[in-house]
Amino acid sequence: MTTTTSNASPQVFTQDQLDWQPWIAPLHESELTERHNAGLVDAARARSPYFRLLARDPDTLGARTRTDKDIFYNPDAGLPRAERELAAAATSRANGCIYCASVHARFATHFSRRDADVQRLLDEGPGADLGPRWNAIVAAAVALTQTPPALETRHIDALRAAGLDDAAISDGLLGTAFFNWANRLMLSLGEPLRAAG
């Protein structure tokens, strides 16, 4: 069974809260078993049609969710949360994933307090001048997003010159790799919608 919508999806990148409409029917909350809930990891995710759709394969969803949480919520050294979110927002912007870009742009703004710079990334794209450190993070994320061989030694050198150590560089690149996969999955399963008001 597929679902369709007559509501036009947003056509510009935004930090606004968006909804997401699946093209394949997700499980209904009442259908979720103990195994599905284990795959969701966080019970609050049962309210999301995206996660209820992915719960059709609960083991893969569980691995995906634990990876996502480790990338963004692991507080031990590495890249600060704001810049992990920046890398995800830049990746999503480069991939054209309006929904994911909105989520991670909001988090990048929240943790950095650099609303104007985050909005500039959304409005102007990855070429926006955000200062040397953020420019290096965005350039590396976008290079990896285009194709892995596009990420070159010069990108790593720029990250090091901007003050990132190996743990921080690893966090940025792993977050980018994860979000390339996540964007493509979300883009192939549905579309963003303006949040119901």
Mean confidence (pLDDT) of the chain? 93
Predicted confidence band of residue 197 (pLDDT cuts 50, 70, 90): low
Backbone φ/ψ region at 121: left (φ over 0), alpha (ψ -120 to 50), beta? alpha
- pLDDT tens for each residue of 25-64: 999 999 999 999 999 999 999 999 999 999 999 999 999 9
Predicted TM-score (pTM) above 0.85: yes
> How far apart are alpha carbons 15 and 18 in whole angstroms?
9
In a 10 Å sphere around its CB, with 0-12 CB exposed, 13-18 middle and 19+ buried, how is residue 77 labelled?
Answer: exposed
Q: Which domains does the chain have, with CATH numbers?
A: 18-72+188-194 (no CATH), 78-186 (1.20.1290.10)
3 — pLDDT class (breaks 50, 70, 90): very low
The sign one gets for the Cα dihedral 193, 83, 144, 68 is negative
Q: What is the reported pLDDT for 77? A: 79
- Give the C-alpha separation, 153 to 22, whole Å: 39
The Cβ of residue 6 has, within 10 Å, a number of other Cβ atoms equal to 4
The reported pLDDT for the residue numbered 9 is 83
Q: Mean pLDDT across the stretch 115-121?
A: 98
